[in-house]
Structure 1
Amino acid sequence: MSILVLGSVNVDITAYGARLPLPGETVHAESYAIALGGKGANQAVAAARLGAEVALAGRTGADGFGRMARDWLAQAGVGTGQLWEDAEHPTGIATIGVARDGENAITVVGGANMAIGAEDVARLDPAFATAKVLLLQLEAPLAAGLAAAAKMRAAGGLTLLDPAPAPGAAFGAEVWTAVDAMTPNESETEALTGIRPTDQASAARAASVMTERGLRIAVVKMGAGGVYWKAPEGEGHVPAFAVKAIDTVAAGDCFNGGLGFALARGDGLPDALRFANACGALATTRRGASDAAPTLAEVEALLKAGQA
């Protein structure tokens, strides 16, 4: 199978401490780490670690962070032939605080990610010809993502949009019909629909709002509450896996990487969502962003244990 990811590449600088600081407060952390991040890179690594053939398209700066990111991606088995070096903008970075209970706070500086444009999409025609699934996020310009989605649809593939970080303004009508599926979490769902999904009933209402706007597949993520989905073939709830979370930083990215992987190999939507739930759950049991992505064997073991 082949997956194309168009999106962000960051270097994450993460501080781990007892709790997150309040506004205006300084707290002492216990440790820190520097690692690969960015929603595009995280999703690409998550799919590659499961065994997919993955190409990541985007931009890094012509700087030390960019070279580090490219090396990490190559080591993870992600194709970087469509990851271009931008001499005018720095590599994106994220500063992250993680508390002992797994909660996090993140500040992102987009840098070269925000310079991704139509010329980058135009260079991807060979990748569209072979990819089955395109993964998009909102850490790169939406216009470029929509252009890529149009090419993916013309090539017969499927586009998944993770609307994260939460959009600051309502999507135009063209967004809902341009992509095949969206996978918002609770805050993103509220930003998109005005409905906070606190249970299955409210998640179902939010999913209906999204499909009424023209979206084909709505997937509402509720963390420990599982996911609620609505699609032309039906709708339903997929429970979450009970795990001990220590770091939730890349759980959503691993979910999306897993969902793309499962759909690309031909799984039906409910099974693909259960697989994605397992990927996201396992990611919360270890620290890091892309480093937290599980292997296929780990996911299959959790799926088997969940059936017992």
Structure 2
Amino acid sequence: MSRLLILGSANVDHVMSFEYLPTIGQTLMSQDYRIEQGGKGANQAVAVARLCSPSTRVDFICHLGNDVMAHDMCHNWKLDGIQTDGVSKIQGQSTGSALIFIGKNGENSIGVAPGANDNLTVTALLEHQDLINRADWLLTQLESPTPTVIEALKLVKQRGGSTILNPAPAKSIGTEIYKWVDIITPNETEAEAITGIAVDDEDSAAFAAQMIHSHGPGIVIITLGARGAYVSSPEFSGLIPAPRVMAVDTVAAGDTFNGALLVGLSNQLTLVDAVTFANKAAAITVTRQGAQRSIPYRDDLIC
């Protein structure tokens, strides 16, 4: 049985839809408003759980507030098959929240208040040493405190597991983290934050990938939205196109991609096939509204 571990954030998403995204100083009337369950870590954990085989164990380490939304999140995660031994509810803290603006073409702007996510310290992480020790793979992001992310990657890597870092949201994290990363999956904005190279086509993606390799990761996958993903690895280098679809909401697309990538690789797919699988899963997600409710199930990709 494969054991897949996700470390990351969980947020309550407050979503507003607009004809177009407001500019600085502009006030627009939202076409609708809804509350969703989200957070990069939680979205990726849901994607993994929905897309993996029944014999796979999916563990999630995160911090929630001690509130109603935290109870609802845990209930829904269990329904998806996520093990919640690593989920802690922190007294006196609110569950993280995000304000999401969505334009008519699916583009979005997001602001995050971390809440209890910021209490996932290294000390708190080590309370889940058993989950870390048994993980075959770790998938994590940057909505948790950076020292905690580094420690988790280091512990899994040192005991022979494999690691994937989705360096989102883009922020300065130094270079120490990369020596514990097998696979890194930035989008264009995040790749530019790491390298200083504006990524807007296949050539610039290849250039940025080579710079990222110099920091340590052996496999670099730069996601390029509707165009697909640029892969740079000893096995294959080049663009793997995404299916063409009509996007209505791109909020959880990257998270679905990362979760599906982990599932594909843990199922022993080749890197190219795993990225192709991840592209297909993300393409389904963008045709649906919402964060976790837009993430497909395994049968959606098989049919």
**Both structures adopt the same fold (TM-score exceeding 0.5):** yes
* 2:117 equivalent in structure 1: 113
Instruction: Give the alignment partner of residue 249 of structure 1, picking from 248, 251, 254.
Output: 251
Instruction: Give the alignment partner of residue 261 of structure 1, picking from 260, 263, 266.
Output: 263
After superposition, give the CA deviation of every residue in 1:160-202 in whole Å (9 maximum; x if it has no partner): 11111111x2x42311211111100011111111112221111
Q: Distance in 1 between matches of 2:158 and 2:138?
A: 12
* 1:179 equivalent in structure 2: 181
Q: Distance in 2 between matches of 1:109 and 1:182?
A: 25
Q: Distance in 1 between matches of 2:107 and 2:181?
A: 30
CA shift, 1:134, in A, is: 0.7
Does structure 1 residue 7 correspond to structure 2 residue 8? yes
Moved more, 152-161 or 277-286: 152-161
Does structure 1 residue 80 correspond to structure 2 residue 81? no
For normalisation by structure 2, the TM-score amounts to 0.94
Does structure 1 residue 18 correspond to structure 2 residue 22? no
CA shift, 1:76, in A, is: 2.4
For normalisation by structure 1, the TM-score amounts to 0.93
CA shift, 1:154, in A, is: 2.5
Identity %: 39
Give matches, 1:127-276, under 5 Å.
127-167=131-171, 169=172, 171-276=173-278
Q: Distance in 1 between matches of 2:269 and 2:127?
A: 30
* 1:43 equivalent in structure 2: 44
Structure 1: tracts of 5 or more residues without a match: 302-308
Q: How many residues align?
A: 299
* 1:104 equivalent in structure 2: 108
Q: Distance in 2 between matches of 1:220 and 1:281?
A: 16
CA shift, 1:85, in A, is: 1.0
Q: In structure 2, the residue corresponding to 1:253 is in which secondary structure? A: helix
Question: Which amino acid letter does the alignment assign opposite residue 273 of structure 2?
Answer: D
Question: Which amino acid letter does the alignment assign opposite residue 112 of structure 2?
Answer: V
The alignment's C-alpha RMSD in Å is 1.4
Conservation of the 8 A alpha-carbon contact between 2:46 and 2:77: yes
Question: Which amino acid letter does the alignment assign opposite residue 191 of structure 1?
Answer: A
Structure 2: tracts of 5 or more residues without a match: none
CA shift, 1:36, in A, is: 0.9
CA shift, 1:288, in A, is: 0.6
Q: Distance in 2 between matches of 1:248 and 1:110?
A: 21
Does structure 1 residue 64 correspond to structure 2 residue 68? yes
Question: Which amino acid letter does the alignment assign opposite residue 156 of structure 1?
Answer: G
CA shift, 1:232, in A, is: 3.1
Q: Distance in 2 between matches of 1:155 and 1:57?
A: 18
Question: Which amino acid letter does the alignment assign opposite residue 267 of structure 2?
Answer: R
After superposition, give the CA deviation of every residue in 1:123-160 in whole Å (9 maximum; x if it has no partner): 22222333221111111011111111111112321111
